[in-house]
Homo-oligomer: A and B are copies of this chain.
Amino acid sequence: MNDKRKRIEVCFTPGEYTYYKDEFEIVVVIDVLRATSAMCTALDYGIAAIIPVPTVDEAWAYKKKGYLAGAERNGKIVEGFDFGNSPFSYMKDEFIGKEVVLTTTNGTKSLEVAKNAEIVVVGSFLNLTALSVWLSKQDKNILCLCSGWQDKFNLEDSICAGAISDHLISTGNFISIEDSSIAAKYLFQSARHSFLGYLKSSSHRRRLKNLNLNDDIKYCLTPDQTDVIPILRDGKLVKI
């Protein structure tokens, strides 16, 4: 069989990345609620770069050196920091042109896990179409790495990954062979008419709703608000 199609696959959690990683040149890190949505927003609003770090200690060390630094754990801003991973935090004039350090519960962990891939980009509903179109032109094998919630599967990242897969497969140049990818595509297809409705019972949405973060949720689930594609270069996320 002479099949020149590239693969588009979905890995549901950072913990499973080890079973997938060697076959893909591009990794798309996804943490819809809210890290990767915040990253897309930040670069869209003129922040020069985001420096993702896995631990609060590292974020704190940067803060002491004078960097703008944010930290989120379990949906809340970590004490001593001025912002976390709400996209709205990054829509500020005083952030324009600056480098911002960020650590989050799940999203920065996936970036850490994936950092040695040839190309690491950041995906969310906010940059869905722009990212999918760019990916479709790369002629490389692509893995969507969902950040999940504390190493467990989560629904919103999987649906976003399913949306990217659906787009790429529709070009005819990509295939999925992993069951996780097939499931993600099915989940996206059932959810596509109302992400918010579909996710009403999701654990993370419930968690954020309890923290009065409903505006964040609505924003993060609204596709195509930006054309920005963050890419990891020398440890920093910058516009592609």
**How far apart are A113's CB and chain B's nearest CB, in angstroms?**
15
Residues of B near A182 (CB, < 8 A) are 155, 201-203
Interface size on A, residues (CB 8 A): 28
Cross-chain contact A186 with B179 (CB below 8 angstroms): no
* Contact of A222 with B by CB under 8 A: no
Stretch binding the partner chain, chosen from A12-20, A75-83, A96-104, A230-238? A12-20
Residues of B near A201 (CB, < 8 A) are 182
* Contact of A151 with B by CB under 8 A: yes
Which 8 A-B residue pairings sit nearest by Cβ, starting from the closest? A153-B180, A155-B179, A154-B179, A179-B203, A179-B202, A19-B152, A19-B151, A153-B179
Contact A187 B183, CB 8 Å, known A15-B15, A15-B16, A151-B19: yes
* Contact of A204 with B by CB under 8 A: yes
